Structure 1
Amino acid sequence: MKYESTQFESVVSPEKSIKTECGVFGIWIPKQGLDNNLNCSTITDVIFAGSLLNQHRGEESYGLAIGNGQEVLPPFTEMGLVRSAFQKYKKEGRKMDGHVGIGHNRYSTTGSSVIENAAPFYAKCESGGVALGQNGNLVNSPELKQNLDTLGVQCIGTTDSELMVHTIANAPGDTWEEKIEYTLKSSKGSFSLGIITKDTLYAARDAFGNRPLFVAMFNRGGKTGYAISSETQAFNILGDHIRDEILPGEMLRCNEDGLERWQWTDDIFEAFCGLELAYLMRADGRFKERTQIDEIRRKLGYHLALHYPANNVDYVTYIPESAKSSAEGYAEGLSNVLGRPVFSRTSMIKNRYGTLNGSFRGFINPDNSQRSEIGLSSYSPFDWMIGASIAMVDDSIIRGNTTSGVVNTTKNRVGNFRNNGAREVHLRIPWPPVKHSCPLGTDIQTADYLIYRELNENVDEVAKHLGVDSLAFLKPHEFQEVIDEVVGQHVGLCMGCVTGVYPPSIGEYTVSKLQLEGTK
């Protein structure tokens, strides 16, 4: 069924902004285990390890839930990074043995940065216990909450993930499959889900395929296990494996009967988040199973140079780390345009230990002041930039906090006395300029300061504000053309934060799940 795209703008209170670019990792193994390294007593270590490889998708909290064949154990959750949660789990002597489980990295909001909102979430009904972890954002959360209120169901937190797990537990149906499908069909928006019952691993993706989700099958000693993950690099801990993309509108089940997958809806309208490709996903991960993100970003950078060359620069560089591939592609393209070699050079080192509160990635930090601190204090420049004219590539500009801090460092804080810098900085961005909110799970809200929108969509004014000598972005159609070229087929993308045009069936909703904060 074909749909027309919908104009949409989310509404949220100005003092709160939402972030839900989370990471999910789940695994199922036979009850007898696979070998000495992967069995019921080591499954939590494997989930921690897989989740660590998804750490970039959420730094605010972490949790895991385990099913042991008899029940789903109450989830273990902790604020902060996966490593911190792992250390606490070990220090407290926790022991959650089982053969199925999920882990969840959370990336959320300033207003809801509390342990009550750490996933996975757990609920219980006559069929047993169920736990759920989500990546995405529902636009009809108030409807789900009202339905649960009518049933007398109380939630302890303010997330749509908790609403989904309680909806599953209270849904009509005699089987978990019927209950889960009922919930999927009742949920509007973006969701990539990992769900466990006492003995089964489920996964599901919304009809847009808006957020990534993959499944892997691995074999040891003639016994088979299954895993799901938001990104493919997490499967590396499994050794040899076969993996595949979970398709838009698809649901799957992994248990002792094997792997079964089916479409829970036929109303498919592919709208994968373009910002995932430009920034959020790891460069070593895969898209559409076969295409590495590094290859996509290199080609984006190459075409960025063809369309918007920075003439007379000495070198191309980048803001670490996610823009490195695009910068190397830009250097290759610029060399072709200028007819002379222009090399890409690393211009600074990013602090790999983050800020004192544990933050690493500026955009996914829930605190605006922390974003600025990351931009100013987390990058240490190299002296070769002094007096140089450089083309600097960054993956995207949303608010400008991190970018302006890095540009300031590049032009004014280089050298032994931190009082020198580059002669010229020409900034190039593969992701088109952002001027609209995102209702589907990225931290871009109507009330946010979006630098391109606030400066009246004037690129020269944005350049002046950031302190660069020139600035250029790919246009939406240019970005789309590159993705289609690299993948080898047309890819349905959501670029609503750029264009204001969003996938269908959400246009009637003008709420954010942050409005749940006001209902507690």
Structure 2
Amino acid sequence: MTGLSLDLYGDTLREECGVFGILGHPDAAALTALGLHALQHRGQEAAGIVTYDGEQFFSERHLGLVGDHYTDAATLNRLPGRMAMGHVRYSTTGETVLRNVQPLFAELEVGGIAIAHNGNLTNGLALRKRLIAQGAICQSTSDTEVVLHLIARSQRSGSADRFIDALGAIEGAYAMVAMTRTKLIGARDPNGIRPLVLGDLDGKPIFASETCALDIIGAKFVRDVENGEIVVAEIQKDGEITIESYKPFKPKRERMCLFEYVYFARPDSVVAGRSVYAARKNMGRNLAKEAPVEADVIVPVPDGGTPAALGYAQESGIPFEYGIIRNHYVGRTFIEPTQSIRALGVKLKHSANRHEIEGKRVVLVDDSIVRGTTSLKIVQMIRDAGAKEVHIRVASPMIYHSDYYGIDTPDPEKLLANQYATLEDMCAYIGADSLAFLSIDGLYTAVGGEKRDPKKPQFTDHYFTGDYPTPLTDLQDRGKNDPKQISMLREAV
């Protein structure tokens, strides 16, 4: 490929992936494709599906979107069987190449097994080095492959027991689905950082990252897979499906990632019993209480800021308008050889609705600010459209720390909150008339109804607070001889 690449999403947070699996249904592959389509927002770089027809496993893995590869009958006909699982991926570990696309599959002593994973292992590199030193041959750079090696080397009998044994060695965040010849297995890490739900379609069990994947196929929500729980659904010889639950690890408090509510989950999903849409509107309401401003119009930065902007408008009484129109038909990367066209990158994705902006005092509501580069371009775009004033309100706290659980975040020194000493300096950089962020307590009450308990935080919130819920083994290993890394670790852990 030639030309210059312009990443239109370079100043956003990106999730690693979404998982889906179904057991015992004659349309397993097609339903999995639909489920992955509903989870496309969690990863747009690649998608894969594995099925089993009672005799052998079949795999289709592709770079690109679900709709680019899994909508035609020819592809689905290559995926026969009554059990299937799939994965959509955004890479935070490993290159964007076909060998890293999940589900990963291996033939083991106990039979074939496919595995897919949402999250990130914070000791994945340490485990990989140990496994390679012991003779393991790795075919990918994905941390998910480490789990396959651990399963293969387990001395326990049976695929489910080996899977549980492997999970005991890993650290970090994971919502994982595995499939054997007779079983579909779902598992969440002991802290429950990443979401995973159990659903049902005509008596056939389903695992999915979010409830929206159940809704698209008409399945019913059964319950959340609990933190630290492994759920094993198995087809017996008589065709009956049994479901068993295991909790082999030391109990810990559930700490769902707050960014599932702020940004990642689809607004129509319910995560840990909480409506994502309602939580985001509550964030806007609390933001209006904490940071009021005299203005003529509330404008969301689409699409993430829309529910919060609605909440802000309803609480403040200031009219809500779509002052920015998003172009949904721009891909992740726009290829164009000239600098003059590349400089228009933000306008490829967003354009100002001049009629609703010109001559007005505008409040822009966004879900988060990472580097701030997109914010300053949007502020300038709104000013160019004739706004009298531009105020920025952010429906989450300032991001000070990097994430190591499956969110693609910059190094700490590249985050806006760490580049400027004061809020006023940040505001001047962005070019707004005022800038305010939602407080951590404002976010907590919007999602859970109670303020943050500093001794026992109810959620995973390290990107705001530096309170990491698990050891960061790989980061610690990298920082042993690096004073800069060591300093960062002391602040973070």
What range is the shorter-chain TM-score in?
0.7 to 0.9
Decide whether the 8 Å contact of 1:24 with 1:105 is kept in 2. yes
Match of 2:269 among 268, 285, 305: 285
Question: Contact 1:355–1:374 at 8 Å: present in 2 too?
Answer: no
Q: Which amino acid aligns with 1:188?
A: E
2:397 is aligned, of 414, 432, 435, to: 432
Deviation at 1:92, TM superposition (A): 6.1
Structure 1 match to 2:320: 344
- Provide the residue aligned with 2:3 in structure 1: none
Query: How many angstroms does 1:356 deviate by?
Result: 6.8
Aligned equivalent of 1:377? 348
Q: Which structure 2 residue ranges, 5 or more long, are not aligned?
A: 1-11, 236-240, 336-340, 479-493
Equivalence for 2:16? 21
Residue from 225, 230, 246 that aligns with 1:246: 225
Quick check: 1:68 aligned with 2:50?
Answer: no
Q: Distance in 1 between matches of 2:469 and 2:66?
A: 33
Normalising by structure 2, what TM-score? 0.86
**1:348 CA drift (Å):** 2.0
Deviations 1:281-302 (A, max 9, x none): 111000223x211111111110
Alignment partners' CA distance in 2, 1:429 and 1:511: 35
Which structure exhibits the higher relative contact order, with contacts defined as CA atoms closer than 8 Å and separated by 6 or more residues? 1
CA distance in 2, matches of 1:124, 1:463: 56
Equivalent pair of 1:62/1:82 in contact (CA under 8 Å): yes
Percent identity between matched residues is 28
Report how many residues are paired: 454
2-structure distance, mates of 1:226, 1:491? 33
1:58 maps to a residue whose letter is G
The separation in 1 between residues aligned to 2:64 and 2:100, in whole angstroms, is 12
Q: Would the aligned equivalents of 1:375 and 1:403 in 2 still touch at CA under 8 Å? A: no
Distance 1:440 1:371 in 2: 32
C-alpha displacement at 1:374, in angstroms?
Answer: 5.7
CA gap of 1:112–1:66, structure 2 versus 1, over 3 A, is same
Task: Look up the equivalent residue of 2:408 and give its one-letter code.
Answer: D
CA RMSD of aligned residues (A): 2.7
Asked if the contact 1:372–1:401 (Cα under 8 Å) also holds between the matched residues in 2, the reply is no
Who is 1:13 aligned against? Answer: none
Q: Describe how 1:145-224 pairs up with structure 2 within 5 A.
A: 145-219=128-202, 224=203
Which ranges of structure 1 fall in alignment gaps of 5 or more residues?
1-16, 34-38, 336-341, 360-369, 415-420, 513-520
Contact 1:204–1:252 (Cα < 8 Å) also in 2? yes
Contact kept, 8 Å, 2:173 with 2:405, in 1: the verdict is: yes
Note if contact 1:25-1:230 (Cα within 8 Å) is conserved in structure 2.
yes
Q: Which moved more, 1:130-139 or 1:102-111?
A: 102-111
User: CA–CA distance in 2 between the matches of 1:372 and 1:299?
Assistant: 36
Superposed counterparts of 1:280-429, under 5 Å? 280-289=264-273, 291-311=274-294, 313-335=295-317, 342-355=318-331, 357=333, 375-383=346-354, 384-412=356-384, 414=385, 421-429=386-394
Structure 1's 276 and 240: CA in aligned 2 closer, same or farther, altered over 3 A? Answer: closer
Q: Write the letter of the residue equivalent to 2:387.
A: A
Structure 1 position 467 matched with structure 2 position 431: yes
The one of 41, 48, 51 equivalent to 1:56 is 41
Bigger Cα displacement from structure 2, 477-486 vs 174-183: 477-486
Match of residue 442 from structure 1? 407
- Name the CA shift for 1:111/1:258 in 2 (closer, same or farther; >3 Å): closer
Shift in CA distance, 375/213, structure 1 to aligned 2, threshold 3 Å: farther
Maintained 8 Å contact 1:173/1:179:
yes
Asked if structure 2 preserves the Cα contact closer than 8 Å seen for 1:123 and 1:166, the reply is no
Shift of 1:406: 2.2
Structure 1 residue 467: deviation in Å?
Answer: 1.6
- Could you tell me whether the CA contact under 8 Å between 1:99 and 1:199 is conserved in 2? no
2:9 matched residue in structure 1: none
TM score, norm. by length of structure 1: 0.82
Shift of 1:267: 2.9
Deviation of 1:157 after TM superposition, in Å, equals 1.4
